[in-house]
Amino acid sequence: MINKNEKFNLMMDFYEAAMANGFIANGMKDTICWFDMFFRASPKLGGFCIMAGTQQLCECLSSLEFDDSDIEFLREKGASEVFIEYLKNFKFQCDIWAVPEGTPVFAGEPIVKVRGPILQALLIETMVLLTINHQTLIATKANRIVRAAQGRSVIEFGSRRAHGAQAAILGARAAYIGGCSATTNAQAAKIFDIPVFGGMSHTWIQAFDSEKEAFCAYAREYPDNCVLLADTYDTLNSGVPNAIEAFKEELLPRGYRPKGIRIDSGDLAYLSKKIRRMLNDAGFPDCDIYASNSLDEYIIREMLGHGARVDTFLVGERLITSSDEPVFGGVYKLAAIEKDGKVINRIKLSENVSKITTPCPKLLWRLFDMETGKAIADLLTLENENVSELTEYELFDPDYAWKRKTVNNFVARQLLVSVFEKGKAVYRSPSLSDIRSYCAEQVDTLWEEVLRFENPHNYYVDLSKELWLEKQRLIDESRAAKNTK
């Protein structure tokens, strides 16, 4: 959370409050239920996404309570006095599990799991979705851009184009998880201890009587971190030559080396190759080239394919808004309820097959090949199944059950970890730098075919036989009931 004193008690769609009010009226407020958050597909984000946002979710839910102004607002909107009384004495009681931040996650698998009174589980639905959806979207986009850069640095540079202050700050956090090396957002850098990048703008250069004067003044002010912007007037005929003169006149006599030259317009690939030769000829082979200007993974990949000599990419609006896929479609669906001490599984059917849910309280496993360390598949099981004790396992496609594969020499790791127990936060978030390192390690466990930007290999999220049979039973029961009407 940006401000830990900021409250988001009513951060909910109003129909959730209306349903909660109705559950009280029907004597169901204490009915225990299970919900899954998952996403159905990520077509333009490739074959996988990067989980992010768990820390902020924990912070928001840890402070969940309803003050007098919240209660009065709901009363004015028609809430019953019984519901009002419930909110006055509200005490969060849910158990929540989530996939650790930085983990690659796939469509169809629960990345957050909630168990608790149905009224409470409904009231937190919007907060769960908006927190995880936004940061997962940006972390995923950042990871794609970083992989396109092929080991070169990527700096998040999008605050001025973000959809509001919170999106800018939390977007910078998510971008760092995804692999960006720094941010230009000072507030995000302060809050989350992210490395910060600063440099000049065209305004600095235009404010002086000449480009060279502007460069020299900047070099005197920031001799140990001197990155000069070379495209204000004429990149090759004015900007770079003036920058080289400023380096020689202001930095070298004082024992400093230039850090870089930045270009923000023109044919970046062509210009970077020309600039590299000019810098090398001038005795500055260690001076890096920075490039910006509406970049994304596709442009960066094409630039490098044409031999661009860029060392660092500054990526702005297309990262912070994930412009080609600006919505992460996470959903929150009921998987089971508990009555009289028994779990009753629930399924949502649909004419759209992709919207049929997977019922039951579930565990999420990732199977790794012990020889290569690569991920084989993800597996959803019932909660009483322990795959980690097995030495051999038969995987099958849940849509085409005849497609089967027996795996051995594997290790199975549960992905969902406890973050709330009986309403109390138990999650201790690693440092952001540790999450970023973990993300890079986990992405490296995926095969190159899964990492492709276009037409990635279909990484399997399979169901155990027991879970698959239960899902089919519920589908058959629903069809039978429909046919008898």
Q: Could you report the per-residue pLDDT of 140-164, keeping only the tens digit for each?
A: 999 999 999 999 999 999 999 999 9
Same domain, 132 and 221: no
Are 226 and 344 contained in the same domain? Answer: no
CATH number for the domain including 246? 3.20.20.70
Model confidence at 193, pLDDT cuts 50, 70, 90, reads very high
Per-residue pLDDT tens digits for 112-151:
999 999 999 999 999 999 999 999 999 999 999 999 999 9
pLDDT, tens digit (0-9, with 9 covering 90-100), for 165-190: 999 999 999 999 999 999 999 999 99
- Answer with the one of 229, 258, 287 that is the final residue of a domain: 287
Place of tokens 């990345």: 111
Residues 339 and 465 both lie in one domain: yes
Q: Are residues 279 and 357 in the same domain?
A: no
What distances in angstroms separate CA 176 from CA 135, 189, 321, 441, one per listed residue?
A: 11, 10, 15, 14
Q: What is the pLDDT averaged over residues 206-224?
A: 97
Mean pLDDT of all residues in the chain?
94
Q: Is residue 106 a contact partner of residue 48, using CB atoms and an 8 Å limit?
A: yes
With respect to residue 159, please indicate whether it lies within any of the assigned structural domains: no
Q: Are residues 465 and 352 in the same domain?
A: yes
The pLDDT of residue 24 is 85
Structure token digits, residue 443: 């992405």
pLDDT at 4 over 60: no
pLDDT band with cut points at 50, 70 and 90 for residue 5: low
Q: Do 271 and 124 lie in a common domain? A: no
Same domain, 424 and 345: yes
Q: Tell me: do 348 and 438 sit in the same domain.
A: yes
User: What are the Cα distances from residue 380, in Å, to 406, 462, 466?
Assistant: 16, 6, 10
- 59 has a pLDDT exceeding 70: yes
Parent domain of 204: 199-287
The confidence score (pLDDT) of residue 200 equals 93
pLDDT tens digits, 425-464? 999 999 999 999 999 999 999 999 999 998 999 999 999 9
Assess if residue 164 is contained within a domain: no
From 287, 308, 343, give the residue that closes a domain.
Answer: 287
Q: Are 360 and 384 in contact (CB under 8 A)?
A: no
Provide the whole-model pTM: 0.95
The pLDDT of 318-342, averaged and rounded, is 95
Which CATH number do you get for residue 386? 3.20.140.10
Residue 314: its H or E element: strand 312-315
- CA 184, distance to chain mean position in Å, is 19
Across the range 299-325, mean pLDDT stands at 97
Residues 85, 212 share a domain: no
Q: Is the pLDDT of residue 15 over 50?
A: yes
Q: What total of structural domains would you count in the chain?
A: 2
Note the helical H segments in 89-185.
118-123, 125-148, 165-178
Whether residue 101 is found in the same domain as residue 224: no
Last residue of a domain, one of 287, 318, 345: 287
Residue 149 lies in a domain: no
Asked, for residue 277, whether it belongs to a domain, the answer is yes
Give per-residue pLDDT as tens, 416-432. 999 999 999 999 999 99
In a domain, 265, yes or no: yes
Position 144 in a domain: no
Residue 1 has pLDDT above 50, yes or no: no
Q: Report residue 97 as tokens.
A: 């599990």
Say yes or no: 263 and 134 in one domain.
Answer: no
Q: What pLDDT shows up at residue 287?
A: 98
Q: Which amino acid is at 356?
A: I
Based on the fold, state whether residues 335 and 256 are members of the same structural domain.
Answer: no
Does residue 292 form part of some domain? no
Whether the per-residue pLDDT at 258 is higher than 60: the answer is: yes
Which string of b and e fits 437-449 if b means at least 16 CB within 10 Å?
ebbeebbebbbee
342-386 tens-digit pLDDT: 999 999 998 888 889 999 999 999 999 999 999 999 999 999 999
Q: What is the pLDDT of residue 165?
A: 95
160 within some domain? no
